[in-house]
Homo-oligomer: A and B are copies of this chain.
Amino acid sequence: MNRHISDAKVFKALCDEHRLMILELLRSGEKCACVLLEELDIAQSTLSHHMKILCESGIIDSRNEGKWTYYFISEEGSQSAKSLLADLTSVKEIQPSRGVRTCP
C-alpha cells in the first residue's frame, strides 16, 4: 500500500503559489492558456511548465480546440487528491492510547 512513496507528486503540484493561483482561476470554469497568461505576469514558457506539472498531478485536465488548449479542474483528479489527504491524516484504528511512552 506504499502510496506515499510516489504520491508526493500530487502535493508538489499544490505547493507553488502560481499554481494555486491557476487553480483559483480555473474554479470559475475552464480557461485557455492565453487567458491564464494575461492574469499571471509570468513568461509563457513558465506557464507551460506549471500547466504540465498540474496536468501530470491529475488535478487539472486539458482539451485541445484548434490551436488553443483549454485547462479545467478534473473532478476525478481532485477527488483522488482529497481521498489521499484524508487517508494520510486519518489515525488508524488500533493504536496505543495517547500518553503511552514509547521511549525508555
Q: Let me know if A8 and B4 touch, CB within 8 A.
A: no
State the Cβ distance, A65 to closest chain B Cβ, in Å: 7
Q: Let me know if B30 and A4 touch, CB within 8 A.
A: no
A68 to B91, CA, bound (A): 22
A50 to B7, CA, bound (A): 18
State the Cβ distance, A97 to closest chain B Cβ, in Å: 8
A78 to B89, CA, bound (A): 6
Which A residues lie at the B interface, using CB under 8 A? Answer: 4-5, 7-8, 11-12, 14-17, 20-21, 23-24, 27-32, 34-35, 59, 65, 68, 72-73, 78, 81-82, 85-86, 88-92, 94-98, 100-103
